Amino acid sequence: MNEELMRRYYATYNREDPEALAAFYHPECQLHSAQGSMQGRKEILDTYRYLITAFEDRMTPLDIRVQGDTAEVDILDRFTAREDVADFMGQSLVAGESFELKLKAHYRAERGRFREIHIALSPD
């Protein structure tokens, strides 16, 4: 794993192209967040498809630290509602309304694809 891989991942994520994004995930990737755990590339991409339908979701990596097959990334994630959203992470939004989250993510790769991802709100 290297910083260039991580930068390509976030650029692909922000392009809203699920098929291109799939190449970054191991078929059995696990993603853990405050919203729960997802098992497998299909479940992760299904959630991504929902997000990009309801929101313009732009992740900006603020700091990327890579060591071997792991990376830790500080992220600014900005969500802008494309439609009215009754409940997302405990808040309701009207179309056009935005909010930001500061996140810390840990990635572990296997053969060049993400095998495990942990995402949490940043303590900062």
Q: What pLDDT shows up at residue 123?
A: 81
Give me the mean pLDDT over the 30-58 stretch: 94
Mean pLDDT of the chain: 95
Q: What pLDDT shows up at residue 119?
A: 97
CA distances in angstroms from 103 to 15, 23, 30, 51, 62, listed in the order given: 20, 23, 18, 16, 10
The pLDDT tens digits of the residues spanning 72-106 come to 999 999 999 999 999 988 889 999 999 999 999 99
**φ/ψ (deg, to 5) at 91:** -135, 155
pLDDT at residue 124 tops 80: no
Q: How confident is the model at residue 39 (pLDDT cuts 50, 70, 90)?
A: very high
Q: What pLDDT shows up at residue 90?
A: 87
- Identify the H or E element spanning 72: strand 70-81
pTM over 0.85: yes
Domain ranges of the chain: 3-121
3-121 under CATH 3.40.50.300, yes or no: no
Q: How confident is the model at residue 49 (pLDDT cuts 50, 70, 90)?
A: very high
